[in-house]
Every structure is written in structure tokens, then in C-alpha cells.
């Protein structure tokens, strides 16, 4: 799990460097909220495919990203672009098992008519790391980073500088110097939707490797709220199995947050977090559907497994929830 979430910090720079030059440009920002993945606001969402197991320059599972522009006749496959850490202008270099492009989501986070791209699982680096890129500073924590590229007429990063969030970012629950630890896998799962009906998409971030006290790999999910200027960390909150209102309790290697999906399942116009702990009960797995009251912020929810849903046997070792949202 941790190996798959090693690096995506350069991925965002890669997408910015490449798609800004190659996506068809929309001439004016449309007066509407852009659909997810409509990165250049032309009304035709792009298809962004992370090919995490792809080979780059002979390096196995270095990974790359395929971007297929949308058009009036459907995906413009003849115009597809492949972006990797070997692309010109991308800091760093492809390495075996980097799994570049493994996790991403999209929404118009600042409602400017251009969809934005959030890529999770980035490996955090500092000035002493050979991948350090001063234009896109990443916090010094090693537990993972989510980078947000704000869209514009020419695609991702066309609307401003990327913004990074990690467990070293002030306001993120559990943050502070040294809080981000190797293997936390912050950003291993990401999902964007409006959870508080304020008209701005929010971002849920899974960190399945996060410890709960002495319980290594218990996992956590963090929610960052959107605003007219994009995501903000100062309104964020975290949830885990030991939080009030969440059924069950944390155990080592539960991997709570291995999958996360924001989806409105009760029609109240508020997307609720649904998350999986694929390591729950020795690898059987479990899914939680949670909600957070608008008045007092209390979390309530229900958990269910292959056993409680009476799925066909055998059910042991299913890692139930690994396919959540797919």
C-alpha cells in the first residue's frame, strides 16, 4: 500500500507543464460551475487516466498519466498526451515503482468555470531532496501530499500556482512539525464534492497508514472545505474509527481511509463521506457511510461488511471496500 503511494509530487508539475500547452483553450470563462475534469472550461470534460503500472524509460511501474481532451464528438483520442516524470520541464526523474498518477479527483473548487485537479499520494520532499522544485514547494513531511492544480483557459495550473496540503499544513487535523510520518499515505485516496451545501466543492483525503496512538496503520480521513478562493485548511476536520459517532474502534493495520468517496445518498444536497478500511478484521474489510450535522458538527454513521450484507461466501480476506466508488 505504502509503495503505491510513494510519489506524485512531480505528477502535478507534469500535468501543469504538459496540459497547459496542449489542451484546447477556451476563450472565455463560462458563467457556470465547470463539470469535473472540464479542465479548460470548454464544456467538454477531459479524460484523465493514471497509468500507475506503466513503464517509463525501462523503469517498471514508474507510472504516467494519459490526458484525452473532450470534444463535441467525444474523446479526442488522436490528441491524447502522455505525461510522466521523464517529460520535459518536470522536476525529478522516473523511478521504479513510483506509480506516478495513481490517485486523482476533480471539481470546480473555486467555481470560476474551470475544473480543478487534485492529485494525491505525492511524496513530500524538502530542499535537501534531489526532487526539490522551488516553484512548487512541498512541506517537509514524508507522509504524503495532495497537490491542487487550479484550472484555467489552458487547463490545469492555468488559474494560478498549485497549492499543497499535507499533515504539516497548519489547520489540518493532527498537523505540526514532525506529525507527517513515512508511511502515513496521506492522499492515498481523494474525492471532491460539496459536503455542506455552500456551493463549493470540498475535498476528502484518505491516509490509511496513519497511526492511532500506538496502533500503526489504523488510518484517518481528513476533509478540507472549499471557499470562493478554493480549498482552505482552517475549516478542516479529521475522522477515524475512535471518533465519537463512528461505529467500531481502531486497530493496527485497519487502513481506514484506503478508499474514500463523497456522495449524496439521501438527497439533502450534501455529499457524505463513504470510506473503507480494507484491513479491517484481518483483511475482511469494512465500509462506513458517515454524515456530519451542520449545526454542531457531530459525526454519525453506519458500518457494513460483506458478512453484514450477506454477500456470497467465501467472504474472508475480501478486503471489502477496495472497489468503493469504482
Q: What is the pTM of this model?
A: 0.79
pLDDT for 273 equals 93
Region 156-183 average pLDDT: 70
The least confident of 19-33, 182-196, 290-304 is 19-33
pLDDT for 56 equals 86
The residues facing 104 across adjacent strands are: 119
At 175, the pLDDT band (50, 70, 90 cuts) reads low
pLDDT for 275 equals 95
CB 13 within 8 A of CB 90: yes
pLDDT for 202 equals 95
pLDDT for 219 equals 93
Secondary structure of the chain as H, E, C letters: CCHHHCCCHHHHHHHHHHHHHHCCCCCCCCCCCCCCCCCCCCCCCCEEEEECCCCECCECCCCEEEEECCCCCCCCHHHCEEECCCCCCCCCCCCCCCCCCCEEEEECCCCCCCCEEEEEEECCCCCCCCCCCCCCCCCCCCCCEEEEECEECCEECCCCCCEEEECCCCCCCCCCCCCCCCCCCCCCEEEEECCCCCCCCEEEEEECCCCECCECCCEEEEEEECCCCCCEEEEEEEECCCCCCCCCCCCCCCCEEEEEEEECCCCCCCCEEEEEECCHHHHCEEEEEEEECCCCCCEEEEEECCCCCCCCCCCCCCCECCCCCC
At 50, the pLDDT band (50, 70, 90 cuts) reads confident
Other CB atoms within 10 Å distance of the CB of residue 297? 8
The dihedral over CA atoms of 46, 47, 52, 55, expressed in degrees to the nearest 10, equals: -90
At 298, the pLDDT band (50, 70, 90 cuts) reads confident
109 or 102, higher pLDDT = 109
pLDDT tens per residue across span 240-282: 999 888 998 999 999 999 999 999 988 889 999 999 999 999 9
Q: Is 89 exposed, middle or buried (0-12, 13-18, 19+ CB in 10 A)?
A: exposed
* Terminal CA-CA length for the chain: 18
pLDDT tens per residue across span 198-257: 999 999 999 998 888 889 899 999 999 998 888 988 888 889 999 888 998 999 999 999
Most confident of 35-44, 79-88, 90-99, 272-281: 272-281
324 or 97, higher pLDDT = 324
pLDDT for 28 equals 52
pLDDT for 2 equals 42
177 or 307, higher pLDDT = 307
Amino acid at each position: 500500500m505504502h509503495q503505491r503511494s510513494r510519489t506524485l509530487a512531480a505528477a502535478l508539475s507534469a500535468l501543469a507543464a504538459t496540459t497547459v500547452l496542449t489542451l484546447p483553450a477556451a476563450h472565455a470563462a463560462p458563467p457556470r460551475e465547470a463539470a469535473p475534469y472540464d479542465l479548460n472550461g470548454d464544456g467538454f470534460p477531459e479524460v484523465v487516466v493514471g497509468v500507475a503500472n506503466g513503464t517509463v524509460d525501462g523503469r517498471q511501474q514508474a507510472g504516467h498519466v494519459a490526458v484525452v481532451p473532450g470534444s463535441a464528438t467525444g474523446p479526442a483520442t488522436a490528441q491524447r498526451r502522455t505525461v510522466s516524470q521523464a517529460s520535459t520541464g518536470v522536476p525529478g526523474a522516473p523511478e521504479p515503482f513510483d506509480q506516478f498518477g495513481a490517485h486523482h479527483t476533480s471539481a470546480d473548487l473555486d467555481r470560476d468555470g474551470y475544473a480543478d485537479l487534485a492529485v494525491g499520494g505525492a511524496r513530500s520532499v524538502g530542499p535537501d531532496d534531489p526532487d526539490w522544485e522551488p516553484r512548487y514547494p512541498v512541506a517537509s513531511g514524508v507522509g504524503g501530499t495532495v497537490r491542487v492544480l487550479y484550472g484555467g483557459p489552458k487547463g490545469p495550473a492555468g488559474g494560478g500556482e498549485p497549492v499543497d496540503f499535507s499533515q504539516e499544513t497548519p489547520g489540518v487535523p493532527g498537523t505540526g512539525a514532525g506529525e507527517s510520518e513515512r508511511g502515513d499515505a496521506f492522499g492515498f485516496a481523494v474525492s471532491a464534492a460539496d459536503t455542506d451545501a455552500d456551493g463549493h466543492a470540498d475535498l476528502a483525503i484518505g491516509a490509511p497508514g496513519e497511526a492511532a496512538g500506538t496502533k500503526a496503520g489504523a488510518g484517518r480521513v481528513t476533509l478540507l472545505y472549499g471557499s470562493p478562493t478554493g480549498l482552505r485548511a482552517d475549516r478542516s476536520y479529521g475522522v477515524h474509527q475512535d471518533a465519537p459517532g463512528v461505529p467500531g474502534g481502531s486497530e493496527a493495520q485497519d487502513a481506514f481511509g484506503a478508499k474514500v468517496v463523497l456522495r449524496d445518498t439521501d438527497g439533502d444536497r450534501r455529499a457524505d463521506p463513504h470510506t473503507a478500511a480494507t484491513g479491517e478484521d484481518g483483511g475482511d474489510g469494512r465500509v462506513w457511510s458517515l454524515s456530519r450535522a451542520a449545526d454542531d458538527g457531530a459525526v454519525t454513521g453506519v458500518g457494513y461488511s460483506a458478512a453484514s450484507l450477506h454477500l456470497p461466501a467465501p467472504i474472508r480476506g475480501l478486503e471489502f471496500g477496495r472497489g468503493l466508488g469504482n
